[in-house]
Amino acid sequence: MKKIYLSVIIPAYNEENRISNTLLSIDKYLSKQNYSYEIIVVSDGSKDKTAAIVNKFSELIKNLKLIDNKDNHGKGWVVKQGMLESEGEIRLFMDADNATTIDHFEKMIPLFEQGYEIVIGSRDKKDAQGAKQAVAQSFLKRQLGNFGNILIQLLAVSGIWDTQCGFKAFTDKAAEDIFKRCLIDRWGFDIESLAIARKFDYKIGIIPVNWVNDPNSKVSLGGYFNTFRELIKIKWNLIIHKYD
């Protein structure tokens, strides 16, 4: 049986109002490509109709699958689940709000062909020229993000200004090696996965993305502070070699 080339993993929590448009957008793009793929929505204990909508669309969209968790575990937990249960040679996770559209994957393919094992999207021009934010975040969120980026570089992942963009792809080998070691279940998982990648010398490439901020984003200010707390855990785990 021929191996699947691309797995698209979409973590989702109470996304009944946005998941339909995202799935249709992904299907429209991928159905025109010449490689095999699967789309996996991982519901993180959604209390709304997210799972029912995905099940309905699975009759219309090729290779769409649902992992329906009955309990809420956190975005990091379900991304890890999707990464380890998918079958693609390349495994990409993206946000359910479609803030970074699937066509950005085109920019990733040449980097994988050059030998990069991880390719991430960035909204920061310091990482990649051409990065854009179509709708700016609030002043407070921007300031918290800038402060957080400096802390992240000092403590865990130097040289990357945007570790939190929800558009990251891994080779199958890198995904299985990195995510089986991940311990953070919620917002800090992006930092942790990149910190582990750096620890084990995986080659990381960066592409610029055009990111559209959704005003209905579920990332609260509390989420920022929880991420900082998880950053300290990651640093401690690195110090005590817990990822070995």
Q: What is the pLDDT of residues 14-36, one digit of tens each?
A: 999 999 999 999 999 999 999 99
218 pLDDT more than 60: no
134 pLDDT more than 90: no
Of 3.40.190.10, 3.90.550.10, 3.40.50.720, 3.40.50.300, which CATH number belongs to 6-239?
3.90.550.10
Residue 88 neighbours by CB under 8 Å, 6+ apart: 3, 4, 5, 6, 7, 37, 38, 172
Residue-wise pLDDT tens digits, 31-66: 999 999 999 999 999 999 999 999 999 999 989 999
Residues β-bridged to residue 41: 10, 66
pLDDT at 58: 93
Q: Hey, where are the domains in the chain?
A: 6-239
